[in-house]
Each structure stands twice: as structure tokens, then as C-alpha cells.
């Protein structure tokens, strides 16, 4: 007989957004918000779940770009047999 085991992995998907400085942040911020709606609290695959996501607005990253990071926490269950 087989005994199934589960190993839970946790992590954070990070999506980095960049847009040219001095072009406004409206479209950039809308895209970040749309990514949150697309990915948070979803079952991406039968064993991958995402949770409440956030946007970390970095601002000027030093090379002429405005940066934001979309952070999406997740768990992934790996099923195996012992």
C-alpha cells in the first residue's frame, strides 16, 4: 500500500514593471492594479494557490525608469508517495 505525502512550498512571484520617467504613472499604476486582479486569490494549477497581492512602488530606479513590483504570495503542494 502507498502512503501519499505532501510537501508545501511557499514563495512570492514578483512581476517587475518599468515605464519611462516623466511620462506619468497613470497607465503604469493601472497595469499594476490589473495584474493584482488577474493573479491574487486564484488557483493557477490544481496544486498552486495565490493569495492577497500587493504593489511596491519603487519609483525612480536610477536609470530613467519608474519601477513597481507586483508581489504575489503563493503555495505549491508537491504530492508524492512514500
pLDDT tens by residue, 47-76: 999 999 999 999 999 999 999 999 999 999
| 5-61 confidence digits (pLDDT tens) | 889 999 999 999 999 998 989 999 999 999 999 999 999 888 999 999 999 999 999
Q: What pTM value is reported for the model?
A: 0.83
Q: Where are the alpha helices (DSSP H) in the chain?
A: 26-39
Question: Are 11 and 48 spatial neighbours (Cβ–Cβ below 8 Å)?
Answer: no
- CA-nearest of 78, 77, 61, 80 to 69 is 61
Amino acid at each position: 500500500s502507498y502512503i501519499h505525502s505532501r510537501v508545501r512550498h511557499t514563495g512570492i512571484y514578483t512581476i517587475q514593471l518599468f515605464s519611462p520617467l516623466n511620462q506619468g504613472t497613470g497607465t503604469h499604476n493601472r497595469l499594476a492594479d490589473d495584474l493584482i486582479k488577474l493573479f491574487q486569490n486564484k488557483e493557477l494549477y490544481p496544486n498552486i494557490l495565490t493569495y492577497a497581492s500587493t504593489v511596491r512602488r519603487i519609483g525612480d530606479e536610477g536609470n530613467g525608469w519608474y519601477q513597481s513590483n507586483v508581489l504575489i504570495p503563493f503555495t505549491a503542494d508537491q504530492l508524492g508517495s512514500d
